[in-house]
Amino acid sequence: MKKTGFICDESYFWHDTGNGALFMPPGGYIETDVHSENPATKRRFKNLLEISGLMEKLDQIKPRPASVEEVKFYHGESYINKVKELSEIGFGDAGELALVGKGSYEIALLSAGGAITAVEAVVNGKVDNAYALTRPPGHHAEADLGMGFCLFNNVAIAAKYARNVLGLERVMILDWDVHHGNGTESAFYDDPNVLFVSLHQERLYPPGRGKREDIGKGDGLGRTVNIPLPAGTGNAGYLHALQEVVGPIADQFKPELILISAGQDPGMFDPLARMMVNAEGFRQMTRFMLDLADKHCNGKLVACHEGGYSAAYVPFCSLAIVEEMSGIRTDVEDPFGEAFKDLPIEELYDIQKDYVAKVKEVQSAFWNFTVKA
């Protein structure tokens, strides 16, 4: 059993993205509905942790706000001020689909600070690993532009904190959110000391990002690894990518800390994607990453919540992750498992293998891969 930290704060659920339909604002022929990035998926996950009895077995850690100087590890001062001004006004867009509500600036500082708190607790040995249920999410946020529901890039800031303040030399970030982690990629594109790996649905969001040929630049060549996967990929396809690409590269990079941008939107019911990972698949991916952390960095692993927009299903996927991190199994079973047992979730298709093989071809110039003719 591991000592697992859990970081959350009620204010995370108070970040206001307003009304909408999926990600569009209401108006014209779009009837008012609930915005996709609303508190429900995260709050229901927290509720499930509590009702299952798992919460009381976790080490609950109160997050602190990130300082402006810490946010400036990645973001420009003018952008930080823009988010603050919009927050004071009460509503606005900090870039592209990056909505700011009243008080969102302070909440976003606490979200970034939650990721830092988790990293600090793990690196300093207070806990073995940690899950940060942060909101707003962060992985799309660029240095001077909010994107895709993200204001400050929580994981990028936390990774830079690990390097700049805690003195770690090598940090690995795995982003399994179904959308490409463009902001995190940008933060470390020329950095040889941070390995960024993104598994995502091909050509989804943002447009033009996450191509397998995007491999970093300068001293960071080969330190960016994009693994686009075809729509319909399930547990077997994701695990294949981890085994064939992520594991071998991590073995060569030898990280001192592993961060996961844990977006549960590859889940089979997500309204903003077309993947077929179930709760058991997230458990398997977590187990794989925990094994890598045990192998290379004494188990030091932090997961930060990103996307996931099925209020009914995200809680079960996220619970499976925390169960695996802690080594504690509750009596909660996936209530949707039996109904969808005939979906090809555990089948590995040739097209999925081909996508992964092409990534290995691209990365073989930088990592020790044997590429089959």
The catalytic residue positions are: 140
- In this structure, the number of other CB atoms found within 10 A of the CB of residue 358 comes to 15
Do residues 227 and 356 lie in contact, with contact meaning Cβ atoms separated by under 8 Å?
Answer: yes
Query: Nearest CA to 296 among 233, 252, 341, 356?
Result: 252
| Positive or negative torsion for Cα 109, 115, 117, 120 | negative
Q: Give, as one character, the DSSP assignment of residue 233.
A: -
The DSSP-derived string for 27-87 is BTTB--EEBSS-THHHHHHHHHHHHTT-GGGSEEE---PPPHHHHTTTS-HHHHHHHHHHH
Spell out the alpha helix ranges (H) of 63-181.
68-71, 77-89, 104-123, 154-164
Cα distance between residue 112 and residue 9, in whole Å? 12
Cα distance between residue 167 and residue 189, in whole Å? 20
Encode burial over 324-354: b for 16+ CB neighbours within 10 A, e otherwise: bbbebebebebebeeeeeeeebbebbeebee
